[in-house]
Amino acid sequence: MAFVKGVWRILVAIKDGLVLLFLLLFFGALYAALSWSPRPAQNVSSGALLLKLDGSIVEQPSDVDPMALLTGSKDKAREYGLADIVAALDAAKDDGKVKAVVLNLDGFAGGGQVALARVGKALDAVRAAKKPVFAFATIYSDDSYQLAAHATESWVDPLGGVAIIGRGGSGLYYKGLIDKLGVNTHVYRVGTYKSFVEPFTRTGQSPEAKEANQALAHALWEDWQQDVAKARPKAKLAAYVSNPAALAQSAGGNLAKAALNAGLVDKLGDEAAFGARVAEVAGDAPDEKTGDFASIDLRKYMKAHKPANGGDIGVLTIAGDIVDGEAGPGTAAGDTISALLRKALAEKDLKALVVRVDSPGGSVMASEKIRSAIMAAKSDGLPVVVSMGNVAASGGYWVSTPADVIFAEPDTITGSIGVFGIIPSFEGTLAKIGVTTDGVKTTPLSGQPDVVGGTTPEFDRIMQMGVEDIYGRFVGLVAQSRRKTPQQIDAIAQGRVWDGGTARQIGLVDRFGGLEDAIAEAAKLAKVDPGKARPYRIEKEPDKFAEFIQSVMEREEDDDAGASGSRMGRDLLGRQAIVQRNWALQAVADVRALVNGAGVRADCLECRGYGAPRVAKAADGHGMWAMLVGLLKG
Spans of the chain, pLDDT less than 70? 1-13, 15-44, 65-77, 288-291, 542-599, 609, 611-634
The confidence score (pLDDT) of residue 283 equals 93
Q: Give Dmax over CA atoms of the chain in angstroms.
A: 87
* 20-33: pLDDT as tens digits: 666 556 555 555 55
| 47-169+225-305+554-633, CATH topology level | 2-enoyl-CoA Hydratase; Chain A, domain 1 (3.90.226)
How many Cα atoms occupy the beta-carbon half-sphere of 9 within 13 Å? 6
Architecture of domain 313-544: Alpha-Beta Complex (3.90)
Per domain, the residue ranges of the chain are 47-169+225-305+554-633, 313-544
The confidence score (pLDDT) of residue 632 equals 45
H helix intervals, 560-615: 572-596
The confidence score (pLDDT) of residue 149 equals 98
At 95, the amino acid letter reads D
Among 304, 308, 379, smallest CA distance to 341 is for 379
Sign of CA dihedral 111, 115, 121, 125: negative
Cβ atoms within 10 Å, residue 629 = 10
The confidence score (pLDDT) of residue 1 equals 55
Cβ atoms within 10 Å, residue 608 = 21
Distance of CA 154 to the CA centre of its chain: 26
Distance CA 520, CA 235 (A): 35
Is 394 known to be catalytic? yes
Cis status of the peptide bond prior to 307, with omega within 30 of 0: no
The confidence score (pLDDT) of residue 132 equals 98
pTM for the whole structure: 0.86
The confidence score (pLDDT) of residue 236 equals 94
Distance CA 304, CA 313 (A): 22
Distance CA 584, CA 152 (A): 35
Asked whether the beta carbons of 547 and 58 are under 8 A apart, the reply is: no
Sign of CA dihedral 465, 468, 474, 478: negative
Distance CA 568, CA 122 (A): 25
Asked whether the beta carbons of 216 and 499 are under 8 A apart, the reply is: yes
Q: What angle separates helix 623-633 from helix 572-596, to the nearest 10 degrees? A: 30
Is 194 known to be catalytic? yes
The residue from 56, 338, 359, 394 that is catalytic is: 394
The residue from 74, 194, 351, 484 that is catalytic is: 194
Given strand 55-58, what is the order of strands in its sheet?
Answer: 78-81, 55-58, 108-110
The confidence score (pLDDT) of residue 169 equals 78
Cis status of the peptide bond prior to 244, with omega within 30 of 0: no
Cβ atoms within 10 Å, residue 562 = 4
Helix and strand totals (H; E) in the chain? 24, 23
Asked whether the beta carbons of 279 and 317 are under 8 A apart, the reply is: no
**Strands (DSSP E) found in 430-549:** 497-499, 511-512, 535-538
Distance CA 98, CA 297 (A): 11
Q: Which residues have a Cβ under 8 Å from the Cβ of 476 and sit 6 or more positions away?
A: 486
Q: Which residues have a Cβ under 8 Å from the Cβ of 13 and sit 6 or more positions away?
A: none
Asked whether the beta carbons of 229 and 150 are under 8 A apart, the reply is: no
Domain 313-544 in the same topology as domain 47-169+225-305+554-633 = yes
Distance CA 386, CA 54 (A): 30
Sign of CA dihedral 597, 603, 609, 612: negative
Q: What angle separates helix 334-347 from helix 364-379, to the nearest 10 degrees? A: 10
